[in-house]
Amino acid sequence: MHTRPNTMPLRPSTTTSTGTSISTRDGVYLEFHNNSTAPRINSDVVLVDAIRKKYPSLHLTIIPASQCNFLKYAASGHASATPIGGDSPANENLNHRIYMAPVKRMDGGSGYLYDSVQFGKWMYKWEEKEYILYAINGSDGPYKSPMSYLLGSTPVGNDELLLAACRWQNSIHNSVLVFDGGYWQYSSQLWQSIQKADWEDVILDAEMKKSIIGEVTKFFSSKDRYKKLRVPWKRGVIFHGPPGNGKTISIKAMMHSLYDRDDPVPTLYVRSLASYGGPEYAISLIFSKARQMAPCFLVFEDLDSIVSDDVRSYFLNEVDGLQDNDGIMMVGSTNHLERLDPGISKRPSRFDRKYLFPDPNMEERVKYCEFWRRKLDDNEDIEFPEVLCKAIAGITKGFSFAYIQEAFVAALLAIANGDASSEEMKEGGPFWKQYEYKRCACKISNFEMMVKCKVDDEQDLGKFVLWREIKKVIKTLREELDVEKGVEGFACGYDCEKIAT
């Protein structure tokens, strides 16, 4: 065991970059300097002794900065923090200047600089009371944990400030709590993405959308009703179905609507159970935070991959256990409902309702194409008449919303890159009336198909470059989809019964 020798010289002749002798500076900084350059057992003990010697009449409270960041609280406008010493050589604040790159370079941001405090001292004012605040990153071991040392006139005053700052830090601030990598973190990016999600833009069966919205919103407004009926105030919902059909956007739209309530409901978003303490520990952290934040919306992305057989019993214990889960509304999304243990997917009181998000029908595909038409409404380079919506919807039967989106994106990129060509649409070209001259997998004759699927002839759509390009992309995507589904032969893709006039 190493200790700091009592006879270690203080090296009074040593100077800093400002030319100030260390021996003439604040004794707390002197101890911090000496302790940081010598073997020690616990820096906290040394620093506490030094602070108490300097301010014997003040009461000291020590708080991990991760639990309560007084500087952020002051930056929010709730308090003020002024460095003691200002810009003079006596200012003993020690910072690491760090560059933070922009989240998205294409947004034109150049990033920004900020200070990572290693040793700082401030005059702190809150509600007409004055405090002295030290922030010191001097913990021992490979994982340094910055600590805050708060000095005030009374212990009660310290605790009042501490409670106010901690409550603010744990409230909603334009971010979403995300569990990933073994710990909770605030994600402003996810917050920004849900601000763009609106139920008006979610294309679903009208009755199902109404049911989902009612299911969740009524839950958070029915605490007294649950209590009166003497039943636990908790629910669970599963969104399932093939990928790309609106599960995620529906969850984001619900998150958005819950944040916009008069009594905002926070979301806790779980992406994985990866944790240094193992998945069982992660599950414990997740539900502990949910109980702390309740009422809350607890989201499990890809529930089947999160709750594997190895952790199923731990998960169910947290859901069904003796702990109070009142106010927790769980929603799990999955592309593979069959992979979920029946104890999760079929047991009442866990996930009570299940909503299937199937591939969109003809009406929903038309609405989705209309959504894209509105997006491109102000683009003068793309002709997108309303008639194209029905035509594109007609040749995308069996496609998910994600596949249709890919068709639009690929077609628009081809147009933007100048890859679009009119030669192939000439009579005899490879895509000239391609659907009329190939055998359709729906087993109707070429003549019958031509009668039912004569969209090109009736509307003369071949003159629109978007129609030409998107047909090529859809042809490729359909071949991929047919291989994936094991379909033999060529599928025309037209929703013949719906398009027939």
Task: Please state which of the ranges 167-171, 175-179, 468-472 shows the lowest mean pLDDT.
Answer: 167-171
**24 or 367: whose pLDDT is higher?**
367
pLDDT band of 20, cuts 50, 70, 90: low
pLDDT digits (tens, 9 = 90+) for 430-473: 443 443 334 444 444 433 343 344 444 445 788 889 999 999 99
**The pLDDT of residue 327:** 94
**Where do the domains of the chain lie?**
58-169, 176-356, 362-499
Of the listed ranges 77-91, 222-236, 463-477, the one predicted with least confidence: 77-91
Instruction: Give the confidence band of 244 by pLDDT, cuts at 50, 70, 90.
Output: very high
Mean pLDDT across 249-257: 95
Length of the chain: 501
For residues 104-127, average pLDDT:
81
The pLDDT assigned to 466 comes to: 92
- Look at the domain 176-356 and name its fold: Rossmann fold (3.40.50)
The answer, yes or no, to whether residue 214 has pLDDT greater than 80, is: yes
Q: Which residue has the higher pLDDT, 189 or 290?
A: 290
Looking at the DSSP bridge assignments, the partners of residue 178 are 185, 269
Whether 190 shows a pLDDT value over 80: the answer reads yes
The pLDDT of residue 454 is: 47
Per-residue confidence (pLDDT) for residue 421, from 0 to 100: 53
Q: Which of 98-107, 178-187, 437-446 has the lowest mean pLDDT?
A: 437-446
List the single range of 18-22, 325-329, 356-360 with lowest mean pLDDT.
18-22
Q: Is the pLDDT score of 420 beyond 90?
A: no
More confident residue, 422 or 82: 82
Query: Of 186-190, 218-222, 283-287, 390-394, where does mean pLDDT reach its minimum?
Result: 186-190
- On whether the pTM is more than 0.85, the answer is no
Chain centroid to Cα 285, Å, comes to 18
- Residues 205-227, mean pLDDT to the nearest whole number: 93
Query: Quick check: 240 pLDDT over 80?
Result: yes
What pLDDT shows up at residue 245?
A: 95
Considering only CA atoms, which of 218, 238, 342, 243 is closest in space to residue 299? Answer: 238
113 pLDDT more than 90: no
The mean pLDDT of 40-52, rounded to a whole number, is 83
Please give the full DSSP string across 15-32, using - where no structure is assigned.
Answer: B-TTS-BGGGS-HHHHHH
Q: Flag whether pLDDT at 488 surpasses 70.
A: no
Predicted local distance difference test score (pLDDT) of residue 344: 87
Q: Is the pLDDT of residue 74 over 80?
A: yes
pLDDT score for 416: 86
What is the tens place of the pLDDT at every residue in 117-161?
A: 888 999 999 999 999 999 988 766 545 678 899 999 999 999 999
Q: Which of 304, 368, 312 is nearest to 340 (CA)?
A: 304
Q: Is the dihedral of CA 167, 213, 284, 271 positive or negative?
A: negative
Which is it for strands 296-300 and 267-270: parallel, antiparallel or unpaired? parallel
Q: How far is 373 from 296, CA to CA, in rounded Å? A: 36
Under the banding of pLDDT at 50, 70 and 90, the label for residue 423 is: very low
Separation of CA 325 from chain center: 23
Banded model confidence at residue 355, pLDDT cuts 50, 70, 90: very high
- Please tell me the distance from the alpha carbon of residue 491 to that of residue 482, in angstroms, as a whole number: 8
What pLDDT score does 447 carry? 34
Give me the pLDDT at residue 457, please. Answer: 47
State the DSSP H helix or E strand holding residue 2, giving kind and residue range, or none if neither: none
The pLDDT, as a whole number, for residue 428 is 42
Q: What is the mean pLDDT of residues 409-431?
A: 65
Q: What is the mean pLDDT of the chain?
A: 81
Residues 6+ apart with CB under 8 A from 299: 251, 255, 267, 268, 269, 270, 330, 331, 332, 333
User: Of 30-44, 305-319, 391-405, where does the model show the most confidence?
Assistant: 391-405
**For residue 164, which phi and psi values (nearest 5 degrees)?**
-65, -45
Residue 164 token pair: 């106010």
- The answer, yes or no, to whether residue 7 has pLDDT greater than 70, is no
